[in-house]
Amino acid sequence: MAIPYRVQNPTTNEIVESFDFITDDELDNAVATAHKAFGTWSVASLEDRAAVLHKVADLFDAQRDELSKIIAEEMGKSLPEGDAEINDVVDIFNYYADHGAELLADEPLETTGGAAVVRKVPLGVIVGVMPWNYPYYQVARFVAPTLMAGNTVLLKHAEICPRSSQKIQEIIEEAGAPEGVFINIYADHDQIETLIGDKRVQGVSLTGSERAGRSVAATAGKNLKKAVLELGGTDPYVILDTDDVAESAKVAWEKRISNTGQACTSNKRIIVMEDIYDDFVKEMVRIAESYTKGDPMNPQEGQYFPLSSRTAAENLVKQVQSAVEAGATLHTGGEQVGDGAYFTPAVLTGIPVGSDPYYEEFFGPVAEIYKVSSDEEAIELANDSNHGLSGAVFSTDEERAKKVANRIETGMIHVNIPQARGAELPFGGVKNSGFGRELGPLGIEEFVNKQRYYVAE
């Protein structure tokens, strides 16, 4: 039996509230409503769509305290991190409201015998299947450009995010979007498969696991539907040299502990040159052991918070144990604590390259550190991954860092910064990290018909 939608507080594992799955009849009605809404929303002016998006941004900004508390209880995000997530959401909706018209403008083509342009025409109803780790931000990345382009949206959020997903619908409706432009649905996985096959649905965007991605991609392919997939990563974080090992370790740790390590673009494989490796590992262990268990509703400096669920914590413990059995060294942490979803921050070294654990994504506060002796070895190790989402390269010699970064096989790569952020920067990966792009000018082009429009002389 499928697990219903619920608010299950990860600090205690207590189920606070449950929500019924949508019925098949209710789902069909939701599709019909979204399809009908497309008829009016798709021909609304860009100015009118932008006004709604601006209002959405304003409402998220005004309600940030309530919104942060909702996800703190749903998936354990600390209130400051929840507040920071709202900042990203506000930026994304404002970005597409401000730049949508220029991003969707016709592109003239040189031709003879007539006038030709490429138009960016909305497709129709688009399904979003979104994850729990950033309950608002992940949705905003998909929804803002999709709505600005003139499509309508059906959102199937994670089963542990029922309140936040419904809150998004309430905000979009309050912002003035017509009924059916955005509908939150508590659907199960079988219903999503049916939904993708519905002729009124024109595409699907999924952020989630590889297994979910393969399933959605197969269904989309079978039904000839457009799909965008963002499926996580094992991002390389290469430190070629540093003038300050302690500071480099601090920066690396802050990146790894962000969102309790539950981010697709976390620095999951930290690759360090051998002359600074021992000192770096020692400092990472010291930092990890300095952290204490905290309450996401009352966070303090130097605290770690629960994972999204007790199951997630238990699975991460098994992954760490599997790595140790394969030959890795666990320096500290790696234990599930209490009745909730707390997992003590861990430092792992020596996971054998080529082993099963080496290729896995550790979705939590586990710092995996690898030693290399040359730039070439660092590049080889960085690219020895089934994923290709993001990555970073650090050196006091910028040219050296750029040469290494130029050869790393990812959708996003950074030099001397853990990760650049901004609504204007495209997001997406290669290999098993998926395909398609979100955010920036590329994000608004995923769910449009790039139509050739030709008028004869």
Residue 161 annotated as catalytic: no
Q: How far apart are CA 259 and CA 265, in angstroms?
A: 11
Whether 127 contacts 154, CB under 8 Å: yes
Q: How far apart are CA 21 and CA 416, in angstroms?
A: 46
Residue matched to tokens 């799955």: 21
DSSP 194-217: HHHHSTTEEEEEEES-HHHHHHHH
Residue 264 annotated as catalytic: yes
Q: How far apart are CA 220 and CA 112, in angstroms?
A: 38
Whether 294 contacts 78, CB under 8 Å: yes
Listed in sequence order, the residues at least 6 apart from 272 whose beta carbon sits closer than 8 Å to its beta carbon are 239, 280, 281, 369, 370, 371, 372
Q: Which of 73, 81, 161, 264 is catalytic?
A: 264
Q: Which of 159, 230, 368, 438 is catalytic?
A: 230
H helices, E strands: number in the chain: 14, 24
Tokens of 363: 């979705």
Tokens of 7: 């608010």
**Per-residue CA distances from 49 to 2, 12, 86, 127 (Å):** 37, 42, 21, 19
Residues with a known catalytic role: 230, 264
